[in-house]
Chains A and B, each alone.
Chain A
Amino acid sequence: MHRRTQRGQALILIFLGTLLLGSAAGGAHGLFSAHQRHQLRKHIEATVTDPVRREALDFTLEAMEREAAHRASEQAALEKELFDAMARHDTVPAVFDQLTARADTSNAASNRTVVDLRFQLRAQLTDAQWRSAFMPETR
């Protein structure tokens, strides 16, 4: 149950943010790992047998993976710029304003995309399938 919960939650946890830059697709290790994507895909393969629905689900999952990879790449680049700026004694405050503004714009766009994909995935699964993939272990 625990592992199933983890694989389901991995998709939604992309929303969670880091303090300085926002979305944690790349910074928070393991939230959207290749292993977790693999586990969710296996779960869907085991529970959704209709090939047409499966193809649609694969499309959504792949879009989620692409978005996670894109955001992780952006986050890593911004994080490096930010930490390099913080390490320099002569960095002016405007540099931090620019970096955080860029991060906020990118983060907002990524959040919208992931919310879209979340509801796309929701529409492709029945209530029971959704619960089985995303139910918290405490329930």
Chain B
Amino acid sequence: MPDSRSSCRPAYRAASRFGAMALVVGLATGCSAWHHTPEQKMAHELQALQQAVPQHVTDPARAARLSEAIRALDTDLTEFRREFTAMREDLRDANARPDVTRAELEQLIDGYDTRRKALRTRVLARHAEMIAATTADEWSALAKHERKALSAAME
């Protein structure tokens, strides 16, 4: 009578090998394959938006304007993420000091807010450029990518 445990052994070994490889990859990468950063998500969505342009906007001149606006949006959102990260570090350092003054904290917060509002103006201008370069039907197919990219930038 064949040993049922023996017949299962190749499948068991394959599963074990796969599990071990997944563990090694996970440990080596910090599971980065499964946890994308906001920057990675943002880049992915902007790329998706860029790739969707020729599918939905057939007029070459408008498609070119749209692509240019998306590239500019990429630059603005990347700047925002950089600003956000720097501000977070500055605020952490300031907050850790027991003797930090209210004026010092407010200066940090207000400075960041001023820069954020300037970037917001630019992002809304990019949005207006994209609206101007599309018809209502075209935009209805593209808007979801813009929304996802902005959501990722604001995480």
Contacts and interface: CB of A to CB of B under 8 A. Distances in A.
Majority SS of interface residues in chain B?
A: helix
A16 B87 contact: yes
A102 B131 CA distance: 23
Tell which of B96, B123, B139 has the most Cβ of chain A within 10 Å: B96
A87 B143 contact: yes
Interface residues of A, number: 39
A126 B96 CA distance: 13
B96 A16 contact: no
Contact of A19 (B136, B146, B150): B150
B91 to A, nearest CB: 6
Give chain B's interface residue range (CB within 8 Å of chain A).
35 or more
Contacts of A131: 96, 98
A139 B96 contact: yes
Interface string B78-118: 00100010011001110110100010011001001100110
B43 interface: no
Given A19-B77, A19-B80, A24 B95 contact: no
A91 B56 CA distance: 20
B7 interface: no
B154 A115 contact: no
B102 A115 contact: yes
Contacts, number: 91
A20 B150 contact: yes
B124 interface: yes
B88 A16 contact: yes
B98 A122 contact: yes
B93 A136 contact: yes
Nearest to B93: A136
Contact of B146 (A16, A86, A100, A127): A86
Interface in B36-86: 77, 80, 84
Contacts of B140: 87, 89
B155 interface: yes
A131 B84 CA distance: 24
Interface of A: 8-9, 12-13, 15-22, 24, 27-29, 83, 86-87, 89-91, 93, 96, 100, 104, 107, 111, 115, 118-119, 122, 127, 130-131, 134-136, 139
Interface of B: 77, 80, 84, 87-88, 91-93, 95-96, 98, 102, 105-106, 109, 112-113, 116-117, 119-120, 123-124, 127-128, 131, 134-136, 139-140, 143-144, 146-147, 150-151, 153-155
